[in-house]
Structure 1
């Protein structure tokens, strides 16, 4: 969904277009930050139908003429994921490859509801990884003749991390329960994504602080979690956008422009 010039404004400003000609759709535009698009066989492309100005989804085979993908280089975060810049030039997709039940951005939002929940879980895992490595370091690293885990200020950092992780674990568990019950709403997923990623940023910061200078070395893993947290914090809707979704639900007023 994300494009070089369109992120949060996808609901109204999607630049990639779809034009129908008989039983074929012609796609033109670009997509950016698309995970694993460099080696996948299929990519879901969201495009704006020029006929009714509504967002529709298309299953595009990556070998389709007019479909080109370039791997994004020099990432500092989530390096295991191959993000791609996709260019579509008169890319032809048959009508049968259109997602038949997705005809407006409201339908697309159902996908975002799920992915935001996934990101909230990712934020929990990122915190846990940073904490576990920081705890091990504190138990083994010695200063003044004893492990730094025995120092009051180090224990304070560890407890702050445990508190954040526990709160986020409870929230995402409740999120999954609502999903199982068929009661998961946009505001639930947005609240979890916003809250857990903010706490994640704080937790990995505590872990890096605990390790001191070693916190920026990849050898101790914590630096990797710090870098990854910056990506997790931003994608699938920024904190601000998710806050507006929750704010609309609790106040009854939309603050979207």
Structure 2
């Protein structure tokens, strides 16, 4: 091969790389001298140079895979209608909530303006038959919980309290007339609900005895006591209050309407997690409730437990959403953030963290998917739900921790979202039954021995 042919080929290849870059190079180096040096290369050396230049030309064209936390493509198991609903909820969260999530979380305020827009999705009470929800399955209830938490765990919690705990209490324990009065308007989010079970001195031990009491006086019930950590209670139109009957010592449920005398909800301040959720300390002082507002199908804590069992799977899905949001945010960051001349996603240690994260996330997703299938089939037990809550809340802690780690110092800034997921994961770890309590439920099922303190 002649020197002129070599130079011609080399120049043509360099032009393919980037003409602008070549022009800038010519300002700094003597191209004729370079061409002369190229002409002295033998065939092996020239082929090596051309290979290197081709590699450089393709570098800018490298197509990266999409950022998607559904590594095992579980969405393919959904029907077309279910997939459409999932994507609509995702679009709503991306468009309406994500731009304001950090602002409201930081201010510890709630974005009431999103409620009418969320109502248009028609997703409240999805697991309850015959109330007009867009889909009637526990699976889609879980998918929706995940999509909400993927952007903002606080909004997912607000929704879960309203649609799951409050509506679920009326659906499972209310009379037909109570269902007719409350559920249609709650399903449309015209009325918002809260759920008051936990107390200042009674959390995990609620089954052993509530401090809040009720006593019947004619056609009324008189409630006294306190409730703590009650989400939505500062603005809810109705709060389900669980109290111990002074006469029978059995647990009963009551629908306490907004503005009822003797009911006071005080906003809890200075939280490090779920700051957007308006948790309240409730004080009940000779709060009189008509018999017509007592949940007619509740006469023991076993009835309360039915509500918790039904909603615990959705909390596991929230953990999936929190993890997915953190993982996808971290993956996006590592593809853009460059150190030592290349994206940090190209480094081995970063990839190891990302693989650990997607492995945990995939295990959580597949577990919850199967759990919701069992719930729809009517074969889910307490221990099934508890295992999901235990595993997913633990793995979420690991995922958000690794997400923060790969982002370095930026991981603690709200603008990158992961810091919020890290904090909110701590709330998921504790509510709807702590890791220890749910572990004992599973332990009892697999050993046949109860390790609960009696």
> What residue number does 2:261 align with?
65
Alignment deviations for residues 48-80 of structure 1 (CA, whole Å, 9 cap, x no partner): 011111111111102110000001111111112
Superposition TM-score, scaled by structure 1 size: 0.99
Structure 1 residue 86 and structure 2 residue 282: aligned? Answer: yes
Question: In structure 1, how many angstroms separate the alpha carbons of the residues matched to 2:368 and 2:428?
Answer: 15
Question: In structure 1, how many angstroms separate the alpha carbons of the residues matched to 2:310 and 2:405?
Answer: 33
Judging by fraction of residues, say which structure has more helix.
2
> What residue number does 1:248 align with?
444
- Aligned to 2:226, the other structure's residue is in SS state strand
Judging by fraction of residues, say which structure has more strand.
1
Q: Where do 5+ consecutive residues of structure 1 fail to align? A: none
> What residue number does 1:51 align with?
247
The structure with higher relative contact order (CA 8 Å, sep 6+) is 1
Residue of 217, 229, 232 corresponding to 2:428 = 232
> What residue number does 2:348 align with?
152
> What residue number does 1:172 align with?
368
- Aligned to 1:196, the other structure's residue is in SS state helix
Alignment deviations for residues 14-35 of structure 1 (CA, whole Å, 9 cap, x no partner): 1000101111110000000000
- Aligned to 2:379, the other structure's residue is in SS state coil
Question: In structure 2, how many angstroms separate the alpha carbons of the residues matched to 1:36 and 1:176?
Answer: 26
Question: In structure 1, how many angstroms separate the alpha carbons of the residues matched to 2:244 and 2:311?
Answer: 21
Which segment is superposed worse, 229-238 or 107-116?
A: 107-116
Give the count of matched residue pairs. 257
- Aligned to 1:77, the other structure's residue is in SS state coil
Q: How well do the aligned residues superpose, as a CA RMSD in angstroms? A: 0.7
- Aligned to 2:259, the other structure's residue is in SS state coil
Offset at residue 219 of structure 1 (A): 1.3
Offset at residue 107 of structure 1 (A): 1.0
Q: Where do 5+ consecutive residues of structure 2 fail to align? A: 1-196
